[in-house]
Amino acid sequence: MFRRPSGSPADRIAALRKELQRHVHRYYVLDEPSIPDSEYDKLFRELQALEAAHPDLVTPDSPTQRVGGKPLDQFASVRHKVPMLSIRTETDTEATGTKNFDARVRKELGLSESGPPVEYVAELKFDGLAVNLRYEDRVLVQAATRGDGEVGEDVTQNIRTIRQIPLQLPKEAPAVMEVRGEVYMRRPDFEALNERQREKMAQGAKGEKTFVNPRNAAAGSIRQLDPAIAAQRHLSFFAYGVGEITPQAEGGPVFETHFELLQTLKSWGFPVAAQTRTAKGAAELMAFYQAIGRKRDSLPYDIDGVVYKVNSLALQKKLGFVTREPRWAVAHKFPAQEQLTTVLGIDVQVGRTGKLTPVARLAPVFVGGVTVTNATLHNEDEARRKDVRVGDTVIVRRAGDVIPEVVSVLPEKRLPDALQFTMPRQCPVCGAAAVREEGEADYRCTGGLFCAAQRKEAILHYAHRRAVEIEGLGDKLVEQLVDASVVRTLPDLYKLDLSTLASLDRMAEKSANNLLEALEKSKQTTLPRFVFGLGIRHVGEATAKALASHFGKLDAIMDATEEQLLEVSDVGPIVAKSIRTFFEQAHNREVVEQLRACGVTWEEGEPAKRVPKPLTGKTFVITGTLPSLSRDEAKDRIEAAGGKVAGSVSRKTDYVVAGTEAGSKLAKAQELDVKVIDEAVLLAFLASPND
């Protein structure tokens, strides 16, 4: 992805340092990485290799000479009493990965190859932020990030907001006790946080942003200066080790193994991953690696690998550490969940129900254990927010069961002539109008009856028991009829004959006859069933009935203006617009005509006498919190009763509906002498035929 080395090794080293420096700053200081970790690691390893080959070019300020992050200025620094070590990583995902580690441990302990296996503890490697929790006299007195391992940041106030972290230890705990672990964010909490952030941004809040992954969300939340904000971010914690502890001689605990230590921490209220196991020898470690690898996608949090630790604390001591990495532990990585790739194109897919989804077509890339060639951009707003363009270099993420997605674009790699993506206003499958309704995120195709993408759904809906009802025409059969191109649109159903049906797989003559009989029977239907069967968005059974009794005839419904539709009880602006758009599509009208020509009939009636809706012509403003209705519910019900709901109070406002904590709108109403009512009065209006 990156420029090949040009010029001398010294030039390349300088270029790599500059690039890495920039990423380090974005990652550790801003919690906003610009490239995936895997890409950073590649650059880092290239620099390491070059420096190893040219030791004279190593300088103390090289990123390779510094571990971990630089503290933000605003947090107080904390010098760790016992340094927080880092952990050697094994990137070999084959069985050799565990064999090498086990062989090294055995060799350093002077164990023969044929001796009994070494016992390990196998843990999950959470993708979070390492912290040290210090308890003095069994009270949490300080929490600090790992920082560079020597000095971290004091984040006590934020850590105290994590409910999973005990603030107090039981009386058997020693006088000084430091517990180490990872603060992380579960995927559902991450999704919910980003959703809230998006809402805030949509409401114009300044300085709000979404997070690219749970790790950054956790890091950003812990290194958040306002503990009140940290408190709203659901963070989780799990313990993996200890720092300073009161020595045994002074009444400290007696632990012989790491596993025992974890069990004790668990009994004191610290979360310890349930998957933690002891394992003997390389083969059992590998079995653990593979078992967790299979489970990885279904875990509700991200892990980037597993960690193996020698279980016996005596052996750990004997093994010691080299340059801040214990010899008794190793992190065994899983395939990365984020990778760089390029966008070959942006397609728009149409779902079974007509939903349009923009999808980035990608140069194939191996992410999270699978080759990914497509990533969803979700909807128009998301595509705009991320501003993904054809030709862009992007970070692709595949974590958990979720479908791959584009996390962000590398703006510095954008081609100068790259065009901004716009959502098509027409369905790419059938050409019908694609519309996005007020308050909705998605565009939808309005060609429900003839759009190839929606064929199966449209037919199933029409044939439903509560619609036109074609007995025996279910999922499987529709699938078969459409896939064999025997049925394209609804009228094709009525052209089926015995020989066509009998030619289908698994179709006995008896079932073919039954289907033909059911089709014949379905021709005699009712207007509400037929209208419901058309599958017009927002037109359910009740609305179909209301339309039928209001207009009496299908042609009247098809030709009704939005205003006329609004007169129907329970029809609000969104439903009216949806009905109008449906019948504006020439193809939809054609399908209706063809169905009639095939002999589908119903009894038509006279239009109902016009009864004005209770709130026709009245404008409302809602303010404050109502006791039982949500604001949206109140709006829907006022509109369904013929009224309008405005956002601000003016002389044209008829009523202000005020709940608790009503603010400036209430004051404005009083100033303009507009009638103020409460929810009870509103409900009475809605129930009465006139106001």
Which residues inside 195-254 make contact with ligand D41, applying CB under 6 A? Answer: 240-241
**Cα–Cα dist 600/171, whole Å:** 81
Please pick, from the candidates 37, 90, 102, 123, the single residue that binds ligand D41 as defined by CB under 6 A.
Answer: 123
| Comparison of 109 and 231: residue with beta carbon closer to ligand D41 | 109
Min dist. Cβ of residue 420 to ligand D41 (A) = 40
Assess 86 for contact with ligand D41 (CB under 6 A). yes
- In order, the DSSP letters of 653-664 are --EEEE-BT--H
Contacting residues for 451 by C-beta, under 8 A, at least 6 apart: 350, 354, 427, 429, 430, 432, 445, 458
Min dist. Cβ of residue 243 to ligand D41 (A) = 9
**Cα–Cα dist 588/536, whole Å:** 10
- Please, which residues bridge with residue 436 across strands? 443
Min dist. Cβ of residue 98 to ligand D41 (A) = 16
- Binding marks (x or -) toward ligand D41, 378..407, rule CB under 6 A? ------------------------------
Please pick, from the candidates 299, 307, 501, 548, the single residue that binds ligand D41 as defined by CB under 6 A.
Answer: 307
Q: 619-623 and 644-646 as β-strands: parallel, antiparallel, unpaired?
A: parallel
Long-range contacts formed by 632-638: CB under 8 A, 24+ apart: 634/679, 634/682, 636/572, 637/686, 638/682, 638/686
Inter-residue contact 332 to 306 (CB < 8 Å): yes
Note the helical H segments in 463-585. 475-483, 490-493, 498-502, 509-522, 527-533, 541-551, 554-559, 562-566, 573-584
Min dist. Cβ of residue 251 to ligand D41 (A) = 24
- CA-nearest of 111, 91, 263, 270 to 178 is 270
Assess 372 for contact with ligand D41 (CB under 6 A). no
Min dist. Cβ of residue 240 to ligand D41 (A) = 4
Q: At what angle do helices 586-597 and 573-584 cross, to 10 degrees?
A: 70
- Binding marks (x or -) toward ligand D41, 573..592, rule CB under 6 A? --------------------
Min dist. Cβ of residue 337 to ligand D41 (A) = 15
Please pick, from the candidates 35, 176, 329, 432, the single residue that binds ligand D41 as defined by CB under 6 A.
Answer: 329
- The angle at the Cα of 457, spanning 455 to 463, to the nearest 5 degrees, equals 100
**Cα–Cα dist 171/168, whole Å:** 9
Assess 319 for contact with ligand D41 (CB under 6 A). no
Please pick, from the candidates 326, 358, 404, 533, the single residue that binds ligand D41 as defined by CB under 6 A.
Answer: 326
Which residues inside 606-665 make contact with ligand D41, applying CB under 6 A? Answer: none
| Comparison of 189 and 380: residue with beta carbon closer to ligand D41 | 189
Q: Mapped to the 3 state alphabet, what secondary structure does 1-42 carry?
A: CCCCCCCCHHHHHHHHHHHHHHHHHHHHHCCCCCCCHHHHHH
Contacting residues for 418 by C-beta, under 8 A, at least 6 apart: 389, 390, 391, 392
Number of residues this chain uses to bind ligand D41 (CB under 6 A): 15
| Comparison of 308 and 450: residue with beta carbon closer to ligand D41 | 308
| Comparison of 145 and 156: residue with beta carbon closer to ligand D41 | 145
Taking the CA atoms of 330, 331, 335 and 338 in sequence, report the sign of the dihedral they define. Answer: negative
Min dist. Cβ of residue 6 to ligand D41 (A) = 35
Please pick, from the candidates 13, 85, 430, 560, the single residue that binds ligand D41 as defined by CB under 6 A.
Answer: 85
Assess 334 for contact with ligand D41 (CB under 6 A). no
Please pick, from the candidates 130, 133, 395, 669, the single residue that binds ligand D41 as defined by CB under 6 A.
Answer: 130
- CA-nearest of 384, 392, 417 to 342 is 392
- Is-catalytic flag, 125? yes
Contacting residues for 520 by C-beta, under 8 A, at least 6 apart: none
Q: At what angle do helices 96-109 and 281-295 cross, to 10 degrees?
A: 140
Which residues inside 145-174 make contact with ligand D41, applying CB under 6 A? Answer: 146
Question: Of these residues, 125, 309, 386, 635, which one is catalytic?
Answer: 125
Inter-residue contact 665 to 645 (CB < 8 Å): no
Please pick, from the candidates 37, 178, 182, 567, the single residue that binds ligand D41 as defined by CB under 6 A.
Answer: 182
Assess 126 for contact with ligand D41 (CB under 6 A). yes
Min dist. Cβ of residue 238 to ligand D41 (A) = 7
Which residues inside 264-303 make contact with ligand D41, applying CB under 6 A? Answer: none
Min dist. Cβ of residue 457 to ligand D41 (A) = 45
Active-site amino acid positions: 125
For binding to ligand D41 (CB under 6 A), which residues are involved?
85-87, 123, 125-126, 130, 146, 182, 240-241, 307, 309, 326, 329
